[in-house]
Structure 1
């Protein structure tokens, strides 16, 4: 089991701007209609899921059953599924897949594999929105490898299965420390 699976090593280990998720979700609203089905990858404590649920039919997911159970104790009717962001073993389809500082735990190769699976479970013309830490380095955080991404590295990973809607740096803690990407599922079937 990886270190980030432990509840004590959740998002609370990293000082974050509590408003960052709200800012990302506000941007998402310009592309995704209210009532759309949405899957959040790596929901952690559920801060963003709570906000997403106000506008969307939101499903939370995480690789840690302990985190899912903790959230279900507070919100017993929540729609949650245990998922690995790399393999996404589900038959369900969603209009949007969202993550906030989760997929940086994947190497570029793994991120590309995850995008293949995300494409599979997205509805036609579905939307992806993911945020990452910005940079061109890799570091070890609690025995978890963390990959920082730039516009260039993300553009190299995106396949022709997706149309780039937006890619933008923003501030979570320090100016320009983060980047988000918005993609739309292409109707053209192109292999990765």
Structure 2
């Protein structure tokens, strides 16, 4: 293995880890407390007896969908982080073992294919169509990396964009 190729790959993966994937920032799954009687409600606030229920409008996530989205996005973030760590470890091992570029690419293809499969499993769990599409598209991009002639080259260009997109778009 060429040390410069493995080193470049390691730096690319480390850049992904450094940019990180972020949580949606909404860790609260519980609904806010609702007063149970007029005596518990602040002046002018409706009690459950007087609350008018409305159906969420299109585009407004329900509490269950929002919680599911947060869960799926956290799982996707963790998969990307864990996959990046595994690829970094593989790259370091490839340098120590002096693997050929073909051997490293073979390892990368396997890691990327497995990561794409794991992302598709998360996409199937998503209740929000927007999140399902985002995670499916991410899996498709990673599959393209696995199919690339040089997955190591793909890692240094296309893979590094994935965490930023997930950070920006994977949230309620």
Scaled to the shorter chain, the TM-score interval is under 0.3
- Relative to the length of structure 1, the TM-score reads 0.24
- Relative to the length of structure 2, the TM-score reads 0.26
Higher strand share goes to which structure?
A: 1
Higher helix share goes to which structure?
A: 2
